Structure 1
């Protein structure tokens, strides 16, 4: 499964929409995504499962890239 992770680059940073970044991660569950990203100093706001039409839409974006962790 592929998950879209919304995050702030600083772990102690309050979430602000304009500073939110996203990354795609392949994992079996949301818990596995958090485990894979635990060593990064980021503030995870939300993890969203991406599938079917939503995944196809995201793949059309030239910046679409799944993190290899």
Structure 2
């Protein structure tokens, strides 16, 4: 499954919507996705499973790249 991860690049700062970034990770569950990301120095806001039409839409983004765990 593919998950879209919304995060703040600087974990010590208060979350600000305008600074939220995202990337994609492949994992078997949300828990596994969070485990894969545990060593990154980011503040995870939300992890969302994407599939179907939404995934196809996201793939059209030039920055679409799936990180493998």
Shorter chain as normaliser: what TM range? over 0.9
Name whichever of 5-14 and 47-56 sits farther off. Answer: 5-14
Distance 2:43 2:15 in 1: 8
Aligned length: 69
TM-score normalized with structure 1 length? 0.94
For 1:68, the equivalent position in structure 2 comes to 68
Q: State how 1:23-62 maps to structure 2 within 5 Å.
A: 23-62=23-62
Q: For residues 4-40 of structure 1, what are the alpha-carbon distances to aligned partners after superposition, in whole Å with 9 as ceiling and x for unaligned?
A: 0000011222111111010100001111011000001
- Aligned-residue CA RMSD (Å): 0.8
